[in-house]
Structure 1
Amino acid sequence: MYGTARRLAVGAAMLLSATSVLVLPAAPASAAGWGCSGSEVSGSPYAVTTGGGAVYSYVHLYWDSSTGENCAVNVKVGRLSGTPTLTEVALTACREDSPVGGGPTQCTAIEYPMDPSRSDIYYSSYAGPVTVNGAGHCIMVTGITYDTNGNSAEYRSRMFHC
């Protein structure tokens, strides 16, 4: 009888341990999970907000020093995560190598990749990745997310990360 009780106690402890592991929160998504390489830049992620301050998503920006590539994704959060709505991310590689006046209109675009490339594509989780070569150039990043009622939230950076 003692052996049976001990086996039950060990089994219960193992089940409790397994249950504890199952209820731990998931680890945050990695850059590789979104198709970007490199390290997330300082200040990222950037909140994609409505005029009233509601956050619909976050733009994550990565820099890979080995390739000179910037990579961005726009990841939906809260009630919009998992719901198909128009979600966009874009990167602009600027000809300039330092911010001139700090305004977005100062950027002379060399390259402007965007996802989706067509405005009628809806995403459930995130838009991107998009990449530009940023070695020796400033960049700008844009994220736009709509809710199910057609309300939009956006983030538009100034020229930076030169």
Structure 2
Amino acid sequence: MKRKAISAFISVAALTAAGVAAAPVASAASPAAAPHAANGAYGCAGTAINGGAPWLVKNSAGVTISDVYVYWNASTQKNCAVNVRTAAGGSGSFAGYLGITIIDPGNTANVDSDYGDYASYAGPVSIVSPGCVSITAETQPPSGAAVIRNINNIACG
């Protein structure tokens, strides 16, 4: 997914440099085009929990800099999560530190993480856990300090 979005950007940049006008490119596989609450969004299979509403990661001014989405797949017993930059968090224009960890609080060896310098989203991360999971999301905005949000004991089934 990420590779296709980068390829589309490079293609538009090459056309622009050559003096050819190009319309914005939207790829069906692009994370920005994926509806957040839909099954399979950002690589997570299953149903969005929390009514599809994200958990918000806010900076000290109360501005949402990223959204955390969590999905449940009943057939595989997997919980899956992604941390998605918002416009205020620099989505698409700022490749700063972004990460997410999902853990089974009853078995801390059952964990998955994804951290790096990402412009759009971190994840997906998933674990098999028919019980509760906890999430840690970290987002570095274009300016200001990184923010860590802990979301404990969710998706308890």
**TM-score (norm. length: structure 2):** 0.69
Tell me if structure 2 keeps the 8 A contact 1:46–1:155.
Answer: no
Aligned in 2, Cα 1:139/1:27: closer, same or farther, shift over 3 Å?
A: closer
2:103 is matched with which residue: 64, 75, 92?
92
- Can you list the C-alpha shifts for 1:43-72, whole angstroms capped at 9, x where unaligned? 541001123311100000000001000000
Identity value in percent? 31
- Tell whether 2:127 aligns with 1:132: yes
Aligned partner of 2:113: which letter? M
Structure 1's unaligned 5+ residue stretches are 1-25, 96-107
Aligned in 2, Cα 1:141/1:27: closer, same or farther, shift over 3 Å?
A: closer
Structure 1 outlier segments of 4+, above 3 Å:
none
Tell me if structure 1 keeps the 8 A contact 2:139–2:146.
Answer: yes
Secondary structure of residue in 1 paired with 2:135 = strand
Higher strand proportion: 2
Once the 2 structures are TM-superposed, how far is the Cα of residue 159 of structure 1 from its aligned partner? 1.9
Larger radius of gyration: 1
Structure 2's unaligned 5+ residue stretches are 1-32
Cα distance in structure 2, aligned partners of 1:161 and 1:74: 16
Once the 2 structures are TM-superposed, how far is the Cα of residue 42 of structure 1 from its aligned partner? 1.7
- Tell whether 2:152 aligns with 1:151: no
Cα distance in structure 1, aligned partners of 2:109 and 2:87: 35
Q: Note the 1:58-137 alignment, pairs <5 A.
A: 58-79=67-88, 80-82=90-92, 83-95=94-106, 109-116=108-115, 121-135=116-130, 137=131
Highest RCO, 1 vs 2 (Cα 8 Å, sep ≥ 6): 1
Once the 2 structures are TM-superposed, how far is the Cα of residue 27 of structure 1 from its aligned partner? 6.8
Tell me if structure 2 keeps the 8 A contact 1:87–1:146.
Answer: yes
2:57 is matched with which residue: 32, 37, 48?
48
**TM-score (norm. length: structure 1):** 0.67
